Amino acid sequence: MSNTMKVAFWEVKKNVTNKSFLISILLTPIIMVIFGGLPSLLSMLEYNQTHTLYVKDEIGIYQELGQYLNQEEIKTVEYNGTLEELKSEGDHKRTSFILLDEEIMEQQQINIHALDDSRPPTNSIRNALNRIVQNRKMEALGLSSEEIKEVDTNILVNIITVKGEEEDFVRKIIPAIFAAMIYFTIFFSGAMTFQSSTQEKKDKMVEILLSSVKPVDLMQGKIIGCFILGMIQVFVWLILGIPIAYFILNIPVIQLLAIKELPLMLFYALAGYLLYSSIFVSLGATIEDVQSQGNFQGMIFLLPMLPIFFFGPIIANPHGVVAKIGSYFPFSTPGVMLLRLSLANSVPVFDIIISIIIIVVTTFFVMKLAGKLFKTAILMYGKNATPQEILKWLKY
Amino acid sequence: MEPILSVEGISKKFGGTKVVDDISFQVDKGEIMGILGPNGAGKSTTIRSIMGIIYPDSGSIKFNIKNTSKIVPIEKIGYLPEERGLYKNVKVMDVLMYLVDLKNYPKTRAKKRMYEYLEKFDLKGKEKAKIEELSKGMAQKVQFMASILHEPELLILDEPFSGLDPVSQDVFREEIIELAKAGTSILLSSHQMNLVEALCNRIFLINKGKKVIYGGLNEIKESYANFKCTINGVFNGLDLLALPYVDKVEGDESKKIIYFKPNASINTFINEISQNIEVNELHIDRISLHDIFVGIAKGGISNE
């Protein structure tokens, strides 16, 4: 086995036997689910409660109002007393009161009196009342009830793209989630290479290692090792995620993932990983103390976050000028191309070829430079490298 | 003797300063060779150049180790760097096996040797402990093990005794002697003269990147270590410096240390002073390596 692979497997072993790595593998998706799902889950708890609406009807439309309201959302109760009398009846929860009189017809305005702090479902009440008022007006124009039903329309909107494929939310969201997951992994594995360099320097392991391995083997070993760790992470997530998606959410993830863009997406992810991790691993080698590690880490990890600037415009138009700029700027190429491939039905071949050339060439040169920097920086003890020193070492 | 390592005229500049300047020496098979010098003399730079961790600007380093085609035969070299440390969050056994594996040494054999050494170094049962759970001395023993488990033919130890307590120093010293007896060639660097004096066959004294003395320990002592005399007593105003064979005199009115020039006759000296000085106490001995070293570090003794 080559020394590169020995270093790689050591990185894997060191982390896999580390509890914090195992916990983070399991915790990350749980945290994501919690942050993604909990707010809507919580709001569902509130919104799905039935609201009680006390109606004092002076114009005889109580029955009609009931027809237009979803009884599970709003339970109507006919009430003959006044608002004051209702209030005095004691504690009311999720309750409001309306007075239906001629004023609605004339002024097209109504007050809903909320009896507690919860918000009455004004939209539903407004829609119901709108229809009743419209019906009254049409009746006044002399239309029969059949004719009124004829007038009532509700248009369903579907988007059909020029290429004839029907837009399917699920078909797109799954590759997009997958792409995001790969990108997320790039991020974390990259962070691991950074920490691995810094840690080895802090633990003063470097010299012992370099008496047995070449610096370039050490660096490549770290990059490959952290890549394997990242893949282990993705693998665990897929093993857990696919059955959950299939059996609980009824999404056939595997079929949806088996799209023709998948190999391309994997290519961009891999290129992005090599690009970022070689930057991280070599910059990690310039750092010694924990504090500047924190500061520095925050700064350079903005790099893979670059595509976020392009998100809005790309979602609006996956082939627009912004999307093209993002695809051609090497540090955002992987993220932007992953996004474009998962959003658009097809990305122009020209863009794909150009971006592949750009990312391959950039990665090649960045890895060469990173090797130079790593070789010199990893042996520096006692202080962090200054930007001037880093520049000087790059020129060697 | 056949050399296992030949260093020929290596120089290394950092920035504008020459840290190592035209250094040449050999390590013979089965000997213990010491590189001595004050802090910052260029010892570690020389050793790192030998290990191929840094590249000297000029000069050559040759190994005479069989069955290897590599320029630096890493499998057959053991190295204990001056900067001590090991992965903190990793078990003793794991880190040792990893480092041995990088040397392409068979794992089963390495494991056997590891248990032997753990017992020898009083670390029995610690193989599953994490490095961070060990005391500093224990961790240094583990690191020393890492440099010898793969049975190197050439062992390079950069300041092996620094930071060790006296008991551990003895353990290390005995082990180094034992390894040398078993045929391992050893190159060690130190700034602690007494330890080197007790261990090395030959020494290379380096200061400010340059060679000061190089040779067998006994020859060096003979050619450099002149007599010195310590006298406690009443001197009656005698001008000791006026004596032709006295090099220098230190001390005060009641106690003086007299350093002699080479080839001084001690008998003559005793005869001459016996009439003038009332001696309370008198020692005559040769200057130790320590005195030579201090002299050199202060710039007192030249190599010519």
Structure confidence by residue, pLDDT tens digits, B223-242: 666 788 888 888 877 788 88
**CA separation for the pair A23, A37 (Å, rounded):** 21
| Residue A13: inside a domain | no
CB-facing half-sphere around the CA of A346: CA atoms within 13 A: 9
**CA separation for the pair A364, A360 (Å, rounded):** 6
Residues A238, A326: one domain? Answer: yes
Residue of B51, B83, B95, B131 for testing the chain A interface, max A β-carbons within 10 Å:
B83
Closest CA to B95 of A281, A280, A203: A203
**Least confident span in A260-264, B36-40, B276-280:** A260-264
Residues A122, A223: one domain? Answer: no
**CA separation for the pair A271, A360 (Å, rounded):** 7
Pairing of strands B246-251, B255-260: antiparallel
**CA separation for the pair A349, A135 (Å, rounded):** 56
Q: Which residues from A are below 8 Å from B106, CB to CB?
A: none
Q: Are A267 and A179 in contact (CB under 8 A)?
A: no
**CA separation for the pair B114, B103 (Å, rounded):** 15
Q: Is the pLDDT of residue A242 over 70?
A: yes
| Residue A31: inside a domain | no
Helices (H), chain B: 43-50, 92-102, 107-120, 136-148, 166-181, 193-199, 217-224, 266-274, 289-297
Would you state the structure tokens that stand for residue A197, as one six-digit string? 């360099």
Q: Nearest CA to CA, how far is B88 from chain A (Å)?
A: 7
The sign of the torsion formed by the CA atoms of A384, A389, A395, A396 equals negative
Residues A143, A199: one domain? Answer: no
How many folded domains does chain A comprise? 2
User: Do residue B53 and residue A211 have CB atoms under 8 angstroms apart?
Assistant: yes
Closest CA to B141 of B188, B105, B92, B189: B92
pLDDT digits (tens, 9 = 90+) for A329-356: 888 888 888 888 877 777 888 888 999 9
**CA separation for the pair B182, A95 (Å, rounded):** 94
| Residue A184: inside a domain | yes
Q: What number of other Cβ atoms are within 10 A of residue B199's Cβ?
A: 22
The backbone region for B55, taken as left when phi is positive above 0, alpha when psi lies in -120 to 50, beta otherwise, is beta
Q: What homologous superfamily is domain B226-286 in, according to CATH?
A: Malonyl-CoA ACP transacylase, ACP-binding (3.30.70.250)
Give Cβ neighbours of residue A102 (< 8 Å, ≥ 6 apart): A58, A59
The pLDDT score that the predictor gives to residue B245 is 83
Identify the band that residue B78 occupies on the pLDDT scale cut at 50, 70 and 90.
very high
Last residue of a domain, one of A123, A151, A179: A151
The backbone region for B275, taken as left when phi is positive above 0, alpha when psi lies in -120 to 50, beta otherwise, is alpha
Could you give phi then psi for residue B32, rounded to 5 degrees?
A: -110, 120
Give Cβ neighbours of residue A266 (< 8 Å, ≥ 6 apart): A182
State whether residue A395 sits within 8 Å of chain B by CB: no
Residues A209, A114: one domain? Answer: no
pLDDT digits (tens, 9 = 90+) for A77-109: 888 888 888 888 877 788 888 888 888 777 778
User: Do residue A207 and residue B83 have CB atoms under 8 angstroms apart?
Assistant: yes
State whether residue A212 sits within 8 Å of chain B by CB: yes
Residues A142, A180: one domain? Answer: no
Q: Is the pLDDT of residue B198 over 90?
A: no
State whether residue A204 sits within 8 Å of chain B by CB: yes
Q: In what order do the strands lie in the sheet with B58-63?
A: B17-28, B3-14, B58-63
Q: Nearest CA to CA, how far is B97 from chain A (Å)?
A: 10
Q: Are A185 and A211 in contact (CB under 8 A)?
A: no
| Residue A5: inside a domain | no
User: Do residue B85 and residue A212 have CB atoms under 8 angstroms apart?
Assistant: no
Residues A141, A267: one domain? Answer: no
CB-count exposure of residue A76 (10 Å: 0-12, 13-18, 19+): buried
Interface of A with B in 308-337 (CB under 8 A): none
Domain boundaries along the sequence of chain B: 3-221, 226-286
| Residue A310: inside a domain | yes
Domain containing A58 — which CATH number?
3.40.190.10
Token pair 């809005």: residue: A312
Residue of A5, A15, A16, A207 for testing the chain B interface, max B β-carbons within 10 Å:
A207
Q: Which residues from B are below 8 Å from A212, CB to CB?
A: 74, 99, 102-103
Residues A134, A280: one domain? Answer: no
Domain that holds residue A115: 52-151
Grouping H, G, I as helix, E, B as strand and the rest as coil, residue A5 is helix
Pairing of strands B210-216, B202-207: antiparallel
Query: For domain B3-221, is the CATH number 3.40.50.300?
Result: yes
Residues A75, A186: one domain? Answer: no
Residues A208, A90: one domain? Answer: no
With an 8 Å Cβ cutoff, the interface of chain B facing chain A consists of 48, 51-54, 74, 77, 79, 81, 83-90, 94, 98-99, 101-103, 143, 146-147
Q: Is the pLDDT of residue B274 over 60?
A: yes
- Overall average pLDDT of the B108-128 stretch: 91
Grouping H, G, I as helix, E, B as strand and the rest as coil, residue B31 is coil
State whether residue A211 sits within 8 Å of chain B by CB: yes
**CA separation for the pair A150, A147 (Å, rounded):** 5
- How many residues are recorded in chain B? 304
| Residue A39: inside a domain | no
- DSSP element (H, E) containing A271: helix A262-284
State whether residue A113 sits within 8 Å of chain B by CB: no
* Number of helices followed by number of strands (H, E) in chain A: 18, 4
Q: Is the pLDDT of residue B302 over 50?
A: no
Residues A241, A355: one domain? Answer: yes
Average pLDDT of chain B is 84
Last residue of a domain, one of A151, A177, A201: A151
How far out from the chain centre does Cα A157 lie? Answer: 26
How far out from the chain centre does Cα B282 lie? Answer: 32
Pairing of strands A95-100, A112-114: antiparallel
Residues A147, A177: one domain? Answer: no
| Residue A2: inside a domain | no
Identify the band that residue A382 occupies on the pLDDT scale cut at 50, 70 and 90.
low
Name which of B52, B79, B94 is nearest A208 (Cβ-Cβ).
B79
Residues A115, A177: one domain? Answer: no
* C-alpha pair distances (Å), A68 with each of A59, A120, A132: 17, 16, 9
Q: Is the pLDDT of residue B156 over 90?
A: yes
